């Protein structure tokens, strides 16, 4: 089977997040999709096939199936499923801080740690400084155990340069990937969360991701005013 390899959310001709894409008449069985995703080796591979008047899409990382993946949809504009958020349990926050070597004083109190959802579940930790974001390190197996135990696809680490410009990093240990260079699903979920907490986003946010891993990517998310509504996530234009 021929799998296309396409980078989404690139910054011009550089960066972005490569994804595998296989479009067929029918979906392969789950074992074969997992094998192909492992062979491709990207953070996700999307498998799509017609399903009546619609399309059926499944996403696989090299090690597991994931419920939703933004960049692997390979669309000009991604409209996320409905978003939702809730406060993160204190014990989970403490474990995540310890995983990355952070302390509570590293967190930005204006954006409380939360569990966010926009097709998949993520933990968001907002940091006070760009330097703290750049210093992120963790042990892959420990991160994988934490994320899989709590059903987290990624942990989103974010720094607000301005109310509308964010720098982010996305450890994706749940899928066996140390870090994702561009994550449409978590960006859309994060945009929904900012709306939920009354953040002064002005209707949209821009995100720079992947810079600290040498794969600078740019994303843009439009934020509708209705609580729980989906967020549009797309590559940021030049």
Say how far apart CA 133 and CA 30 lie, in whole Å. 36
Residue with tokens 């993160």: 88
Residue with tokens 């409905």: 82
The answer to whether the CB of 80 falls within 8 A of the CB of 230 is yes
Partner residues linked to 8 by β-bridges: 17
pTM recorded for the entire structure: 0.77
Q: What tokens does 224 get? A: 């509708």
Q: What tokens does 110 get? A: 């204006």
Residue with tokens 């934020």: 223
The answer to whether the CB of 133 falls within 8 A of the CB of 167 is yes
Q: What is the pLDDT of residue 237?
A: 44
Three-state SS at 187: helix
Three-state SS at 9: coil
pLDDT band at 9 (very low <50, low <70, confident <90, very high): confident
Residue with tokens 């991160």: 143
Phi-psi region of 193 (alpha: psi -120 to 50; beta: other; left: phi over 0): alpha
Three-state SS at 142: helix
Taking only the tens place, the pLDDT of each residue in 35-91 is 999 999 988 898 999 999 888 989 999 999 988 876 655 543 656 678 999 999 999
**In this structure, is the dihedral angle defined by the CA atoms of residues 12, 179, 118 and 40, taken in order, positive or negative?**
positive
| Pairing assessment for the beta strands 165-172 and 177-180 based on DSSP bridges | antiparallel
CA 192 to chain centre: 13
Q: What tokens does 208 get? A: 């720079």
Counting beta carbons within 10 angstroms of the beta carbon of residue 20, is it exposed (0 to 12), middle (13 to 18) or buried (19 or more)? buried
Report the mean per-residue pLDDT for the chain: 89
Q: What is the pLDDT of residue 238?
A: 42
Low-confidence winner among 14-23, 79-88, 207-216 (lowest mean pLDDT): 14-23
Alpha carbon distances (Å) from 159 to 121, 162, 174? 20, 9, 22
Residue with tokens 């192909």: 36
Taking only the tens place, the pLDDT of each residue in 102-133 is 999 999 999 999 999 988 999 999 999 999 99
**In this structure, is the dihedral angle defined by the CA atoms of residues 129, 133, 139 and 141, taken in order, positive or negative?**
positive
């Amino acid at each position: 089977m021929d799998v296309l390899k396409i980078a989404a959310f690139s910054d011009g001709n550089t960066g972005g997040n490569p994804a595998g894409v296989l479009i067929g008449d029918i979906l392969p069985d789950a074992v074969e999709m997992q094998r192909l995703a492992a062979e491709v080796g990207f953070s996700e591979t999307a498998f799509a096939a017609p399903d009546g008047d619609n399309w059926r899409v499944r996403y696989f990382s090299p090690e597991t199936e994931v419920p939703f993946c933004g960049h692997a949809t390979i669309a000009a504009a991604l409209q996320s499923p409905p978003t939702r958020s809730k406060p993160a349990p204190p014990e989970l926050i403490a474990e995540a801080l310890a995983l990355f070597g952070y302390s509570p004083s590293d967190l930005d109190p204006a954006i409380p740690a939360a569990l966010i959802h926009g097709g998949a579940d993520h933990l968001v930790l907002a940091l006070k400084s760009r330097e703290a974001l750049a210093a992120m390190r963790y042990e892959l197996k420990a991160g994988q155990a934490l994320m899989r135990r709590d059903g987290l696809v990624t942990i989103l680490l974010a720094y607000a340069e301005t109310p509308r410009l964010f720098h982010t990093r996305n450890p994706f240990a749940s899928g066996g990937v140390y870090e994702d260079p561009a994550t449409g699903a978590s960006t859309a979920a994060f945009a929904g969360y900012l709306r939920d907490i009354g953040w002064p986003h002005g209707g949209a946010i821009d995100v720079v991701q992947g810079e600290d891993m040498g794969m600078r990517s740019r994303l843009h998310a439009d934020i509708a005013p209705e609580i729980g509504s989906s967020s549009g996530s797309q590559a940021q234009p030049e």
